[in-house]
Structure 1
Amino acid sequence: MADRPRFHLAFPVHSLEAAREFYGEWLGCPEGRSNSHWIDFDLHGHQIVAHLAESEGPEDHHNPVDGKSVPVPHFGLILEWADWEVLRDRLTGLGADFIIEPYVRFKDQPGEQATMFLRDPSGNALEFKAFRDEVMVFAKRFNDGSV
């Protein structure tokens, strides 16, 4: 077992082959078990499972964060800063169509973080981020002192 619990997420996809290309080739997630209806992927030690779905998922909602329209729901990873930069460069080089282009949010403030959002081929929104100061990941106060 890992040093800490592993996260598990199952999510709908319209095409297993498109999921295999996006998660396996674009994001570099090793593939685990699979059958004709689902594929397990290793997302930095966490198990995510792409399930073939016949119907559309729930409608997206958006919330404003730092002047950007953030899609809800979304999932992703908090990476080390250098690893985030490597992934940003890889996805940019592959021609990723970002929902929110890679940028640094809350620049020079507590909670400063690099972030980028994109969708997989089935429309699931993903966020990859990195905090300048990892202590801020679970900080209780925002930059303006509000809770």
Structure 2
Amino acid sequence: MVDKLILSDEEWRKRLSPEEYDVLRRHGTERPGSGCFLGTKTPGTYVCAGCGNPLFKSGTKFESGTGWPSFTQPLTADSVTEVQDRSYGMIRTEVRCARCDGHLGHVFPDGPPPTGLRYCMNSVAMKHVPEGQPLQPAKS
């Protein structure tokens, strides 16, 4: 179980850049092809930009051709939560950080083996911690 990080809107605005705030707290989406992690292949762990919660290992990242970094599975079952999203006249599954409830992206059932899933994430919602460096979730 992940310890929850709950902050006021004002605290989130101080902690995050305007782009991070828009995606993580207002459920925004970066433009396709614009994210800094789209072509990244550096070994390591992707963590939540809002709270540092470990989300995905680089070994599960793949090129989906969608314009956003994609992963076959989260780091652990407790890394993310999934919520039905009915915005924009569609029914999708939103992926949120399990620690701070920040919006990360969506998951779709059209990924490669072994899971058949495509966790389509916003680069701005994550940070990359290179392999061998300690993972340190942000303090409240």
The structure number with the bigger radius of gyration is: 1
Query: Which has the higher relative contact order, 1 or 2, with Cα contacts under 8 A spaced 6 or more apart?
Result: 2
Question: When the two structures are superposed, what TM-score results if normalisation uses the length of structure 2?
Answer: 0.28
TM-score by length of 1: 0.27
